[in-house]
Amino acid sequence: MLGSGIIKGLAVTAKNFVGSYYDPARMTTVEYPEQPTVLPENYRNFPFLVSENATDPMGTLRCVACQICEKECPPQCIIIEKSKDKKPDANGKMQLYPAVFGIDTSVCMSCQICVEVCPFDAIKMDKVFEIAATDRFLDLYLNREQLAKPNTYYHQIHPEEAAEVDGRLTADRKAAEEKAKATAAAKAAAPVAAPKPADSAVAPKPASPAVKPQDEPRRLVSPKPGEGGSPLGEGGPAKSS
């Protein structure tokens, strides 16, 4: 009979209306600023540089400026300049370091390929998403100082992955030391060959609510524009106040 389909439809919406009051599974919305979004461990948004030490982030960057990520980055948003001198890394080995390391986050598409190709576990994916800026050139270009985050932060946002990476790194370090002792040869400058990260099957936990983004939203706004001699600082337009 005419109208039966309409009545059926009305019944379904009525059921949903009532259900929205007592069936939380029906409501998928989150009241955002009050109710923080639970980000899964694997969530990725914009890379950052891992440094071993929080007190001296620039001195203990894992990055050795090998420029693989710069080459592999699909939208080519990474800018690296090698240093002229060498500094000792965490193992005490003398390594190059990035004199300039910049990521243009207005171009970056968070694809994680830089993380996958990095042989030194030096660049990892961040979890920031509350990013707003007033200058679309300067504020969205992150320089070395803004990118460097301590390993503890890495542990905070990706606990399982970070533990796994740390374990691998200490094992490598131990192996390198033993190798160094055994051979007792001249100090090898060859970098530690880390296995490919893709092989290391990282086991995520999707449903684990343990991941708390208690890190305060990182502001991408640089306090002083053009600081740190960023390449865009000179060429870019003057910051409008």
Partner 1 sequence: MSTSQVSGFNTQVSAPGPFGGPAGPTVRAVHDQFHGDLLEVSMGPQHPSTHGVFRMVVTLDGEQIVKLKPVFGYLHRNHEKIAENTSYLGSMPYTDRLDYLCSMSTNWAYALAVEKLDGQPVPDRAQYLRIIMAELTRLLNHSCLVGFLFNDLGTSFTPLLYAFREREKILDLFESLSGSRMMCNYQRFGGCRVDPSPEWLEAARRLAENYPRFLDEYEAMLTGNEIMLARTQGIGRLNSTHAINAGLTGPVLRASGVDYDVRKIDGYGVYPRFDFRVPLGAHGDTYDRYMMRILEMRESVKILSQAFRDLPAGPIMDPKAKLRGFRPKAGEAYGRIESPKGELGFYLISDGSPNPYRYRVRPPSLINLTLLEEMCLGHTVADAVVILGSIDIVLGEVDR
Partner 2 sequence: MSPASDSYLERAPLELRDWLVQFLPEPLQWLAHHLITVVAVLAVFGTFFAFTTIAERKLLARLQNRLGPNRSGLPWIKGLKLWGLTQPFADAVKTLTKEDIVPATADKWLHFLAPVIVVAFSLMTFAVLPFGRNMIPVELNAALLYFFAAGAATELAIFMAGWSSRNKYSLLAAMRALAQLISYELPLILSVVPIVLVAGTLSTKAIVLTQGYWTSGFLPHWFVFTPWGLAGFLIFIVAALAESNRSPFDLPEAESELIAGHLTEYSGFKYALFFMAEYFGLTALSALGVTLFLGGWQAPCVFLEFIPSYLWFMLKLIGMIVFFIWVRGTLLRLRIDQLTRLAWKFLVPLALLNVGNAAFWVLSAHWAGPLQLVRWAVSFAVIVIPFVIMGRSLTAGFAPRTYRYAS
List residues binding partner 2 (CB under 8 A): 1-3, 6, 9-10, 12-14, 16-17, 19-21, 26-29, 31
Residue 127: both structure tokens together: 């979890």
20 binds, among partner 1, partner 2, none (CB under 5 to 8 A by kind): partner 2
State yes or no: residue 33 binds partner 1 (CB under 8 A): no
Site string for partner 1, 125-144 (x = CB under 8 A): x-------------------
Least distance to partner 2, CB of residue 12, Å: 8
Partner touching 56 among partner 2, partner 1, none, CB below 5 to 8 Å by kind: none
Torsional class of 17: left (φ above 0), alpha (ψ -120 to 50), beta (otherwise): alpha
Tell me which of partner 1, partner 2, none is bound by residue 42, counting a contact when its beta carbon lies within the kind-specific cut-off of 5 to 8 angstroms: partner 1
Options 202, 212, 227, 237; binder of partner 1; rule CB under 8 A: 202
Whole-number Å distance between alpha carbons of 58 and 94:
15
| Cβ-based neighbour number of residue 62 at 10 Å | 21
Which residues in the 97-116 window bind partner 1 by CB under 8 A? 109-113, 116
Write out the H or E segment, with its range, that includes residue 87: strand 87-88
For residue 141, the minimal CB distance to partner 2 (Å) is 34
**Helix (H) or strand (E) segment spanning residue 187:** none
Which of 50, 73, 138, 157 lies at the binding interface for partner 1 (CB under 8 A)?
Answer: 73
Among the residues of the chain, which ranges form H helices? 4-22, 68-72, 113-117, 144-147, 151-157, 159-183, 231-235
For partner 1, give the closer residue by CB, 6 or 185.
6
Q: What are phi and psi of 139, to 5 degrees?
A: -70, -25
Residue 31 binding target from partner 2, partner 1, none, CB below 5 to 8 Å by type: partner 2
- Residue 39 or residue 232: which is nearer to partner 1 going by CB? 39
DSSP per-residue letters across 193-233: -PPPTTTS-----TT-TT----SPPPP---SSTTGGG-HHH
Measured CA to CA in angstroms, residue 87 lies from 59, 79, 201, 216 at distances of 8, 20, 32, 32
Question: Which residue in the set 43, 48, 101, 153 belongs to the binding site for partner 1 (CB under 8 A)?
Answer: 43
* Bridge partners, residue 78, by sequence: 103
Nearer to partner 2, 35 or 241 (CB): 35
Interacting residues toward partner 1 by CB under 8 A? 2-6, 8-9, 11-13, 15-16, 26, 28, 40-44, 68, 72-74, 109-113, 116-117, 125, 196, 198-199, 201-208
